[in-house]
Structure 1
Amino acid sequence: MDSLDSLPDDVLFHHILPPLPTVSLVRCRHFCKSWPSIVRDPHFLALRQSFYPTSGHLLFVCPASAVATSELQVFSAPISPGQGDPPLATHIATIPNLNASMVDVHCVNGLLCLHPKNSSNSKAFAHIFNPTTRQIITLPDDSSVRDKFRASTHFGYDPIRDEFKVLRLLKYNDSHEFKIFTIGDATNSWKLVNNATATHIRPTNWFLEDKRGVCVNGAIHWKYSSYILAFDLRSEQFRQIDIPDGYKYKEHCRPHLKFPDLVELSGCLTLVGYDDRGLNLTILEDYETREWTQKRIILPDGANERIHFPLCSVPKTGEILLMPYFLGRLVRVIYHDKDKTSSRRAVVMKMLEPLWPDQKSGYINIFFYQENFRLLD
């Protein structure tokens, strides 16, 4: 299997590797020593894009079935399907030995972080999964967690240093502390974050409510009370961003369902409010000057019956993709053109079997992702 390495780099770079399907390309890492440097090269990725033009994919993470909740299934579908019948979902992976109803998932820059919901004691594990390379790693245990009462886990990416980090918030009795783990760090251990940077954070239940952090501009963000709390991944410090006057979340008529109040759209932090006819978006257009703008989305007639929330902006068109809270065998979505203030409906994929929702909340984890060839081993 030394034949790949014996080929000239130019032949490998321009003719052999770019047209390969992703699964075949990933397999080449076992036979080609130069594979890691090649797949990270921007010119190679541009060549590959010419063979497989894509604006990204939708990723679905859900229990394998109504009864087999000890494993997770991962599926993908194109974010903008072509004409004709919708494509069948592509099965990416089955992740065993995880109680699906107790696992939360974060997706940042093409990697997934799987961890327990509101975990306690020694159950505070964390796995990192790359859907592109199909690799999964388990982060080392943090022995100090065994003495804690609660642990809440969050995931982020620092584009300046090209680092993925897992942040863990630990609460016990009337005190709290913060731990961080950097993927690929030589120490391979959890590090204590300087608690002095978070003296204004009260150890309440705000981070124990399955609140998913939103990573934008190298920081993880959470909506908290009258402001947004941000954890800068480079400086490893907390800061506040004031919420503009007039913003209201407004619970939906089904308050037991948890709708995202904070999302990322086109690289911008966006507050989301809901009502019976549509959504109100409060967008942080300029992160440095704290300049906010308002957008209103009126849902098409009948769409509010299925309850939609904004997932992402479609890279090629700039449309906002609105996902239904519950999914059937056919995954029906809404594309909203914010410039024309118009919407269109589409079926992006179909399943041979229906997706099984999380039995605890009824919610399927849905993300936008693009290929990331980062090696985890």
Structure 2
Amino acid sequence: MSATNLLKRKDEAELWVTGQLVATRKRISALNEPTASVDGIIGIQVFDEEPPRVPAQRVDFIYWTAMRRWGFYRSRIAQERARLFNRWRGSAIGRVGDDIGETADDVIREERLAEFLVPEAPSGWQSEDGEGLDFELKGAEAVWLRDRLLSIEDVAEGPCLLAKAAELCVESPPQLEPSSIRLWDDVLIRQSAKSAMQLDRLERARQASYLSHYVRAIYAALVEWVVETTASPRRDLPLRYYRELLGDLAEDRAMRDVALALSLHSLFADVPRIPGALQKCLHHVQVGLRKVAGGEKAEAVFMNNVTHRLFELVERRRKGGRARLSRTEQGAARRIGFDRNTINVYDLDYRWGQVRSLLADLHRGLTRA
């Protein structure tokens, strides 16, 4: 089996699964059945095209970090998804049996390329006579998932917060309403953080979320500023939406105080892989917010070449030629059509919506075990 054939068969299987989920959703919608969960189907938009196709980013690519961290996949040889599929070629799949010499090209090496630690597919799962697929977990599946989450490596203070939430969610599911509730306000998460001795880390997550809101606002305002200062003479009045938004956010004393209360030293200890350029950027934002607290205007504090250089460096390292802040032809091309709807300015939610759904699914599944 070649890598190309493997990926083709994998894409075909993903399209089949998406089709089954879409069919289940249509049936539930028609019959008004609220029992099965089919919200959040990945790739639904491109599946509805003719012909249907898989999304540019496959499901396992999107959740690759989680699959590795939660122990669904492990490999010493291929620790990255791309490396796994690049190495998974026909010569790596050999025959077994007696009298096979070690020098033969088709011998299976003692060390496996990779191991996928997932439950076996249910018998007849591809049968067209089945009840259809949904995201609901059977009892045994929920127990298996909980055990995988419980195996997540501890952090400095103790158990991983997600692992502790998986342990406690059978008795206390996450709050689904109101949908706007944040991670640090959820009863299950606070109970888990207290049990895992991580209330301080949870509070830092809240503070970092507020600081990230300012970072996104400053970035959007900088792009708007660069558009104004690099564009040829224009007839329309310059766009000032993001700079005014930044000003409003910076004047929000309660929000500003939370962002300034964050200890960057503790944050960098929590997340040691934060790049040095981003660390300097976060420090610069806090220094600027303290100036705003002292009476200076946010636009005067942040709309300058010093801030631009710091943010541009971070963006170029992340996006390369797709960076908007670069004063280059590529950057100018990326800024074409820039308006108030181009950039969404919001806080850092840590994918809480997805995690909340996972814990709610796990809770329902464990009650069936």
Question: What's the TM-score once normalised by structure 2's chain length?
Answer: 0.25
Q: Which has the higher strand share?
A: 1
Question: What's the TM-score once normalised by structure 1's chain length?
Answer: 0.25
Q: Which has the higher helix share?
A: 2
| Greater relative CO (CA pairs within 8 A, separation 6+) | 2
